[in-house]
Structure 1
Amino acid sequence: CIKFDRRVTGAMKHIFGRKLLAKTVDAASQYSSSHNFDAITLDGDLCSRKGALSGGYIDVTKSRLRTFSDLNVAKTKLSELENQQRDLQRKGNAADQSVQSLMGEMQRLEAKRANLIPKIEETEDKIERHSSTIKSHEKQCESLKEDIPVVKNECNGIDAQTVALEEEIGTPLSSTLSAEEQAQLQSMNKELKILGKKMEAHNVLLEEASVEKHRMQSLLSDNLLKRKSELERKQVSMGRLSRSGAESNAAASRHRDLALLKSELEEAERLADGEEEKLTDAKQLDASYRADLVKAKANLDELKTNDLADRKALDEFSDGSERLLNKRSMCVSKREMYTRKIQQLGSLPPASELKEFSNLSIQALMRSLDDCNKRLKKYSHVNKKAYDQYVSFSEQREQLLGRKKELDVGGKKIGLLIESLDEKKDEAINRTFRGVSKHFTDVFNELVPNGSGELLMRTAHPSAENTGSGKGSQQDANSPHVSLYRGVEVKVRFSAVGENYMMSQLSGGQKALVAMGLIFAIQRCDPAPFYLFDELDQALDSSHRASVANLIQRQASSEENPTQFIVSTFRPELVKVANRCYGISHQNKVSSIHHLGKKDAMHFIANLMNEEEAVGDVTKLRTSVASTKRKASRHEADDVSED
């Protein structure tokens, strides 16, 4: 089947001896397990008779001849572009010379303009300073004029208050107030409070109006007028410098802007006039309310004098009430003393026995009481409150016994609840383990078609646990109790015929495959919305990578439990079944993400795998050269020893 030079017969036998050639990976794995031969596919995948798979990916779209032709086309395009660049460079140099001549002329004109601008600005600054000082003086005069009516109103209020006080001096003092006067006092106080609130509200409005007025004036003086003067200066300067048609159009546009700004200025002045009218109205209201406040203060002072007399009478009544309270406290203390004496007597006899003494006089009762006290002296060592304590303690005992019964019933119910929860927990653990074990077997069969895997629970026998030996035995997951579980054990087989292997006996790639099978089994038992994998196929061969990709594709497109998978990979199998592909680049310490088509992604992975294969070939060549050198040195040493 294969033609080769007879000088490399040994090497060809070593590589292709006891090996079968198959079309697909499935056929290669089937024949390698049934005939005990190593099988190799046309794509270069090797299926060992021991169950291992290895191989690589070949990009059939890549060709050196096509690359050479593309290189020649690119060189011709490069020469054409270089010629175009030289032509454009000559044109650019000519344009630069014309621009330099124009720039020199502009610099001369700018120098003339720069000499005239400082003189104009200096005169305009002087005019602005004088106008600003005049406006500040006018504002001060207006503020002083506005304060004059306020001061007059205050003087009028003070004069009215002095007149009221002088009239009050000649009136006789009254000791008490009548009911009508008290009602009038209350109504005046209410009216005074209402007027005070209204005055505060109008003061707030007045302050807001004054603030708005100052704001509008500051806006007018600081922004709009300055803007107007600046635009006028610009208009004058542009009128001086305008000589061409383009400059006339710019001046017309500036005239239009100036007209707009003038209209805005007129609108602002109109708003300021309206605010000033509101401010004058508010000041008139404030003056009227101040006059009402002065009258209310006069009435308040008159009522305060009447209130002083009422307070004196109230003090007299309070002194009498304190004397009565002292008497009451003395009576209360006596009552407490007598109740203590009654309590010291102990428990009282029933009402039937007290009827015998109800008809006796006080002297007879006192004599009988003395006789009883004399007889009681014999029993002075006996506790008089023993009966009362016995009754109270017996009641407490009954209450505690009832409480104990309730707690016993509650404890039994809690114990039953704990047992039921333990049973539910054990059932949930066993049910979850059975589900995961079943799904692990199914998933491993999908990942390794000719293999099998099972998930076992390691338990401890009750007799061994009691003796303390601690040796585990594999039993059914349904029969033992959860307390006997000692861990989970995995047994897998990667071929149809052969023995099962434990996790400790597997290679790195096989352990990764078992771990993925366990993850997908848990995912089927308890689905999650998405999974994130980082190079999960790094340690796998091509057939197992294809199995993992097909399993992820089926799970992602499942109708019952669809799941999203986000995977990073450098192999083509997962890229073939992916819905979207993204590439990550790293430049200048910054990572960025780029959306790639499937063809671009496959091309990128093919280039990467070719580079890896080239590095692997170089390393193999170096190792082969080193081995031949070592063999040659050994032969020379043997020849020397024979001589």
Structure 2
Amino acid sequence: GTDGLQRLLRQFADENRNQDIINGYHGTLIENIECDPAFYTAVEVIAGNRLNYHIVDSDVVATRLVKEFNASRQRGEIHFLPLNVLDVQNNTLSNITGASPLIDQLQWVPKAERAVRHVFNRIMLCEDFNAATRTARQYDVDCVTLDGDQVQRKGALTGGYIDKKVSRLELQRSIKQLRSTLNEYEKEYEKLRSEILNTDNEYNNVMTELQREDMKSKKNWDNYEQMKSDAKHLQSELDRIVTHRPGKERQLNALIATIEQFCAKEESLQSELGSDLVSQLTMEEQSTVDRLNDTVEKITQELKEIIRKRVELEGTKTRLEHQVANNYRKNREQINTELERMHVENVRSVIEELEREYAILSDKLNEHEKQTDAIDRIINNLDKELKTKQKELEKFKNSDRDIDEHINEEKRNSDKYEVKLRNAQNKLDESTKRQNDIGVPPDGLDKYKDIPIKQLQRDLDRAIIELKKYAHVNKKALDQFLQFSDERDKLTNRKAEIDEAHRHIVDLIESLDNKRFETIQFTFKQVSLYFTEVFKRLVPEGTAHLVIKKGDNEDYDSEQVSSQSSGQQMSVDDFTGVGIKVSFNGRTNEMRDMQQLSGGQKSLVALALIFSIQKCDPAPFYLFDEIDQALDPQYRNAVADMINELSQKAQFIITTFGPDLLKYGDKFYGITYRNKVSQIRSVTREEAMEFVEDNEAQNQAAQTTTTTTTTTTA
């Protein structure tokens, strides 16, 4: 019932409903109290089953819980302690000699105070049973001792041995400790989880920063490599320009000289153009002049092209010098400064430091992951077990539903079949009735199967007309004759079978009686033979034998039984019991029955009978309780020798206060009784002999004291 109620409350919490019921429920009484382990027995005896009662704020909450409990079809019983209706008595008995209020030894949750006082008020915890009896009688209160003995104020006394190893309060304390341990593990799990998340965040931040620095360093290195390659290219271009510069300058000087020559020649030609021609040019001279003019134009064009290329080369030279002066040298200085600032060793040290931090964080992360994995495995195992149990429960529910549906289906089918069977039976009865009314025997219908129905109807009409003439005759006589004849034959055959079975049963009973008589006779002869031998060994000067009683005054020994059975004069039903005839002085005329023997002699005869049965049908072990207590001293050694001989084939467990049986023992245990508790411990043979001798000495001293006291009184 408690488990079902807890499931119901968890369901309320999960569905976020009936919060007033959840707030009004305070758990069971055992969950709300604590005390010292020394008072567990007293508290459990007083509270009893009320320890499992559920504490609620009011009877309204209890009623609603019961309705919800029944509506959800939970199993079990639940009991409540509604705080609003509990009767709490005042406790004014605080100062009593030898006793104190039991409630003073308890600690409880403040919300459950009324329930605790309702159960434990006016209960006094006493030192012993006498103090409890005196307090209950004097102050009209219920009392209890630490051992659990209870004295009620109305005079009832209850108590006895209570196993303190099985304590509900101890189990509850263990449950609380386990729950607190589980809560601590959960808190530690959450803490480790948060630490892992923080560590992951720090790790991610460090890795992000490391990647950022790595990218920055890689970018700077790429820029450095690019600038280095650009510088090499520019340097090679500059070297090439410097190398070709002298040749270009020589070409330039040659061109300038050529230009100056052409200019001088142009001036001379211009001066010649300004003067009058004195004579007309010849054809040859005219052609030469034309050729020279073409050459001048060509040379002029080449000069212009050379000047243009020179201007372009000077511009390129100026641009390259400017780029080298401004960009390359400036970037080289900046790169050198950056490289000096970010030295390779510093970068390596930073990387190594980051790698060490990464290794430390990785170790912590692995440790946290291991702990998390362990906790996750525990949670997964619990979840798997819970899911398995839920699946099994669901499987059983489905199986129950399937079985119920199958039963309902079978019921419906059986109802249908029953209706069909009734209809068929009615039709059969109606057909049989009609057939009997017609009076035609059943075996006479086969020959009419091939005749048309109309012909049969005409024949039937004629037959009915003819039958009317014999209306005064019993038409069922033939049927009845045939039926009675069949029944007579069946009964005759049945009688013959019963007679044959009766004959076999009589033979079987006779055979079983003979076997039983033979078995009893054989067993009796064996036991009687061994009994005589064992008794002769235990009492050398005595004799004993077993007898079978027949009637009140007839006794037969084993030989007489054999002779009588051979003549078929005796049966098992004639026997009324088994008796023992013994003589401790060897005189056969003084044989006595068991009723005429003393206690020690009866014990000896019983042991002889047990030993004789053991020889016939050995048992694996025998348990004897102080068998030598009532034996005379001269018979104890004989019994010990006999047990020692029989112990080769069986185990004997014996309790004794005498030394005779101890000399043949293999294992010894001492049993003491202290504080209402029996204690068992293994001892040696010497310790056992010393214990027995001390016990005999105490008994002799007690007998001597008794004898002396009796003599003085006389």
Q: Do the structures match in fold with TM over 0.5? A: no
Q: What is the TM-score of this pair, normalised by structure 1?
A: 0.42
Structure showing greater relative contact order (alpha-carbon pairs closer than 8 Å, 6 or more residues apart): 1
